Amino acid sequence: MALRQRRMGVLFAVFFLLLVAAAGRTLYFAAVRSATLRKAAQAQQLSTETLPAERGTITDRNGVDLAVSEPADDISADPFLLKDPLAVAEKLAPLLEKPRDEVLAELTQHSGFVYLAHALNPARAHRILALKIPGIDASVVMRRVYPRGSLAAQVLGLVGTEGKGLAGLEYSQDATLRGHPGQRRVVSDALGHPISISTVHPEVPGSSLKLTIDSNIQQHTEDVLSAVGHVFSPRDATAIVMDPRSGAIYAMASWPRLNDSITASVTNETLQNRAVSFDYEPGSTFKVVAISGALQEGLVTPETSFSIPDQIQVADRTIHDDAPHPEESLTTSQILAQSSNVGAIKIGGLEGADRFNQWVHRFGFGSPTRVDLPGEEQGQALALDKYSGSSMGNLPIGQGELVTPIQIATAYSAIANGGILRPPHIVKAVGGRSVAEPAGRRVVSSATAAEVRQMLKGVLAPGGTASQVSVPGYQLAGKTGTASKIDPATGQYSETAYVASFVGFAPAADPQLLCAVIVDEPKTGSIYGGAVAAPAFGEIMSFALPYLGISPH
């Protein structure tokens, strides 16, 4: 009996001690850890989620979608919660469209969070979540989609996985397009199921951009450049189509073109917009600078006659025309139409180095055009104090100066636009509000511009360097260019690497459309601007002129 009482006493003491310990622990949690535990409970039941903002749409001038955003899902995993990573990898790999071993490597990382896919199609994401694999989760994001595939890819650029623009307009207009994300508060039950969702502050979508680009002209221009690439196998090619009266760009195309929709795997090189970044010696297209200046200063008229041998000595340099010929008499108009180097040098000599240099800068060379696109180079106009004795033997014919395609197109737009040079632009409206067109400045008088336009018609007339190019019903005007490139190995002009170009406009009497085509290092067929670039100009204009409803005359 006494033994039983002692045992009951011991048990009572043990239970009493346990009760005291439990009470003490309860008191500890209630008094000391209450704030910490309350926060932990709230964290388990209450969460704040980011609401991604919809990125602004980019359209062409007619409202055709070029870049849009749509909901998508980021798929993630917590490897610590996966009981059989190999089995999970086998299930997920086909849905992620990734090799099983790659998925397995991701699922076995020593981390509590791993991205398996970014911006996945919602339908595929739903199939993954339907597997109900613990540790596999999804979060809603917005992904960028380009409905016209790679059309105008170098102009549009691309958006990274974090939703930031990385190239092109997506980069330069990122602050406008991106918008501001929102937040919402989610209260969940013990099983993690949401029971209450409230918006803390709503997301603000980005503003839209309407471009001056016309998707049909852009498509046709890219198709023409693809044909140039197929026939002449150049290093690359660029074309710009614009309204010379306003500077609005209808098309800006590059070749090689991208094969697929723009993705994060596209390199910066393939997305480089060479229309604004390619520095090259312009060759004979630059002759319009010296001739326009001489006309404006009254040093020559279109009918002024010059005695033209097939070569000319300037200081220590001897410059030849393209083909040997006996000494002949050519007017200013014929010098431009036949692209005589000797004739252009003689006209430049009438101006002298100082005034010629002023004309180079008045036409905008050596300075950026201020086009609303990123990555614009400013070319290189030789400083007057760097001129040598032979500089006036090469500068008037487009050697020794670097220009960009957008600069040469803008300079010719001034001739087409009655002597007014206007900065080119590609953004037509932001958030539905029209963007004011940039102001222009006068370069030459309207009379001089009209004379040069008339003279440039001769380039496409019989005897001109692009006489084979025509568009039925339209009078064309323009200039060919064939420039030898500097060989980086020797520092001398190459005998195999050239830039072939053509820039022109129509109708010649009242220009409403301008096109520049620049082909870098054509390797097969021909290297001359009249044979390589001029026909591409004709193909582009033959589509764009009637498409825009420009009357034949």
Q: Which residues are catalytic?
A: 284
Q: Helices 405-416 and 446-457 sit at what angle, rounded to 10 degrees?
A: 110
Coil vs helix vs strand at 208: coil
Q: Give which of 250, 200, 193, 170 is closest to 50, Cα–Cα.
A: 200
b/e code 379-391 from CB counts within 10 Å (16+ = b)? bebbeeeebeebb
Q: Give which of 477, 465, 462 is closest to 530, Cα–Cα.
A: 465
Interatomic CA distance for residues 515 and 396, integer angstroms: 22
Element (H, E) at 362: helix 341-362
Contact 363, 369 (CB under 8 A): no
Interatomic CA distance for residues 527 and 180, integer angstroms: 51
Interatomic CA distance for residues 22 and 30, integer angstroms: 12
DSSP 86-109: HHHHHHHHHHHTS-HHHHHHHHTS
Q: What are 460's two structure tokens?
A: 């496409």
Q: What are 196's two structure tokens?
A: 């209450």
Contact 365, 403 (CB under 8 A): yes
The residue behind tokens 């930031």 is 164
Interatomic CA distance for residues 333 and 342, integer angstroms: 14
Cβ count near 261 (within 10 Å): 16
Q: Give which of 519, 514, 515 is closest to 501, Cα–Cα.
A: 519
DSSP category for residue 380: B
Give burial (CB, 10 Å; 0-12/13-18/19+) of 541: buried
b/e code 112-131 from CB counts within 10 Å (16+ = b)? eebebbbbbeeebbeebeee
Q: Give which of 418, 414, 423, 403 is closest to 501, Cα–Cα.
A: 403
Q: What are 307's two structure tokens?
A: 């005695």
List the helix and strand counts (H, then E) for the chain: 17, 23
* Amino acid (one-letter) located at 91: K
Interatomic CA distance for residues 286 and 400, integer angstroms: 11
Q: Give which of 415, 407, 414 is closest to 441, Cα–Cα.
A: 414
* Amino acid (one-letter) located at 334: Q
Side-chain half-sphere CA neighbours of 171 within 13 A: 16
